[in-house]
Amino acid sequence: DHHERKRKKESREVHERSHKARKMIGLKAKLYHKQRHAEKIQMKKTIKMHEQRKSKQKDDDKTPEGAVPAYLLDREGQSRAKVLSNMIKQKRKEKAGKWEVPLPKVRAQGETEVLKVIRTGKRQKKAWKRMVTKVCFVGDGFTRKPPKYERFIRPMGLRFKKAHVTHPELKATFCLPILGVKKNPSSSLYTTLGVITKGTVIEVNVSELGLVTQGGKVIWGKYAQVTNNPENDGCINAVLLV
């Protein structure tokens, strides 16, 4: 009666395991519970899978949409939706590619970092004035506003006229006069003020380099991107954007 005994032993095993799990204590119990928990999860998963298979058959009866004639069946043509998304992707790439700069991402400078609050008034209570703590560029014909009404103070010590610009291919550096600040990545306010921080795109006078266009005209202005923190170094280092 080997088979009978075997069958009965196997069916008793379940109860014995359950009894063991309840009665065990200590570290041994912890390990055993962990093992049993994992087994139970697996079993639950398989049961769910079996159940899913039963319910899936019902869906198969419905005829799928998108009927095509026999000559189109084996062809996987791009559906119109896919084509549209391709177009959108291309447009995005084009837009992104407009400003390909050596430093694509820089740390954004907050207002507290760049502008220092200046207190004024008889009791030093008014706090509407700000002083720029970073290097800035002001144009040639710059005249301060009347000091009493000046909101943004750009100290003369932090005003620079020249930048050390490196040509990426020639690997030579030139000291070129700055023509203007094109874009400060942190904020458009800084662009209008002329604040130069790391990553700012500035326009420099390159007539010294002697570049000429195909039509024979002399190039005298080019963009360059600042690569150092000028307020720490005392000079503006930039890379020419060719």
Partner 1 sequence: WKAALAAEAAGDVDVERVLIQLQDETGEVLGSPFDVPLDISPDKLQLVCNALLQKEEPVPYLFFVKDAEVVSSLGSCVQELGLETEQVLPVVYQPQAVFRVRAVARCTSSLEGHTEAVISVAFSPTGKYLASGSGDTTVRFWDLSTETPHHTARGHTHWVLSIAWSPDGKKLASGCKNSQIFLWDPITGSQIGKTLTGHTKWITWLCWEPLHLNPECRYLASTSKDCSIRIWDTVLGRCDKILTSHTQSVTCVKWGGDGLLYTSSQDRTVKVWRAKDGVQCRTLQGHAHWVNTLALSTDYVLRTGAFEPATATINPQDLTGSCMCQHLQMNNYYTLLGEGHERLVSGSDDFTMFLWNPAEEKKPVARLTGHQALVNEVLFSPDTRLIASASFDKSIKIWDGKTGKYLTSLRGHVGPVYQVAWSADSRLLVSGSSDSTLKVWDIKKGKLNADLPGHADEIFAVDWSPDGQRVASGGKDKCLRM
Cross-sheet strand order for the sheet of 115-120: 115-120, 126-132, 152-153
- Which among 112, 125, 156 is positioned nearest to 138, based on CA atoms? 156
Q: 25 or 73: whose CB is closer to partner 1?
A: 73
Q: Which tokens is 59 given?
A: 């869906």
Number of residues counted as binding partner 1 (CB under 8 A): 11
Q: 71 or 149: whose CB is closer to partner 1?
A: 71
Residues 54-93 that bind partner 1 (CB under 8 A): 63, 65-74
Q: 25 or 67: whose CB is closer to partner 1?
A: 67
Q: 49 or 73: whose CB is closer to partner 1?
A: 73
Exposure of 166 by Cβ count < 10 A (0-12 exposed, 13-18 middle, 19+ buried)?
middle
Least distance (Å) between residue 64 CB and partner 1: 9
Q: Which tokens is 67 given?
A: 């009927």
Q: 1 or 74: whose CB is closer to partner 1?
A: 74
Distance CA 8, CA 216 (A): 101
Least distance (Å) between residue 85 CB and partner 1: 20
Least distance (Å) between residue 86 CB and partner 1: 18
Distance of CA 96 to the CA centre of its chain: 13
Least distance (Å) between residue 88 CB and partner 1: 22
Least distance (Å) between residue 70 CB and partner 1: 5
Exposure of 131 by Cβ count < 10 A (0-12 exposed, 13-18 middle, 19+ buried)?
middle
Least distance (Å) between residue 36 CB and partner 1: 47
Q: 86 or 120: whose CB is closer to partner 1?
A: 86
Q: Which tokens is 70 given?
A: 């026999």
The DSSP result for 37-68, as a single string, is HHHHHHHHHHHHHHHHHHHHHHHHHSPPS---
- Where do contacts with partner 1 occur on this chain (CB under 8 A)? 63, 65-74
